[in-house]
Amino acid sequence: MALRLGDTAPNFQAETSEGYIDFYEYLGDGWGILFSHPADYTPVCTTELGSVARLKDEFAKRNTKVMALSVDGLESHKGWISDINETQNTEVNFPIIADEDRKVSELYDMIHPNSDENFTVRSVFVIGNDKKIKLIITYPASTGRNFDELLRVIDSLQLTANYSVATPANWKQGEDVVVSPAIKTEDIPAKFPKGHKVIKPYLRTTPQPDL
């Protein structure tokens, strides 16, 4: 059965490029990103893993750990990591699961027969500190993932988890947010003392509350 938003992310144990890891223990009390790759030595994924490695400090600021997955084995991973480090001018600094038995791929529904029954599709799961799935995105093999967008989404998810707000289209850190419809307009000043705007009765904005 396919996983959906709000479902508990399944735990698993797996061999990775950084040793045998329990997923929940790896995440601890933080957030996580689990993302899959069709196979080692694929060109688009090579650039993606390099991008993730360069963003390590940004993920750390958000208390977020990343873990990648490929259905190839550890020896293959080691060679691929060497290529990634060389071509992307970085050092891969996160584990890559060696999912040769497809255990994790099937647990997270990463193999779609309509795409290719032998390879994982390029899925991304954002997992909250409550181990619930907060975001699922699936990309085709030809389109590289936008990890700046994933950082933006994590910012939104973490903000809206703690405040009664939502983030509008194209929102970025520091911009105004939307007040939850559940809050009465007359109650906004007490909850959001930085001020607010009433654009429509159902569309009220306020400065980002955690800054």
H or E element: which one contains 50? Answer: helix 43-54
Helical ranges in 122-171 per DSSP H: 147-162
Neighbours of 48 (CB within 10 A): 22
> How far apart (Å, rounded) are the C-alpha atoms in residues 43 and 41?
6
CB within 8 Å of 103: residues ≥ 6 apart: 12, 14
194 is catalytic: no
> How far apart (Å, rounded) are the C-alpha atoms in residues 48 and 59?
15
Instruction: Name the catalytic one among 45, 71, 124, 126.
Output: 45
- Tokens 């983030």 locate to 167
φ/ψ of 117, rounded to 5, equals: -70, -10
Contact 62, 31 (CB under 8 A): yes
Going from the C-alpha of 130 to that of each of 24, 34, 52, 122, 146, the distances in angstroms are: 10, 15, 23, 24, 25
Catalytic residue ranges: 45
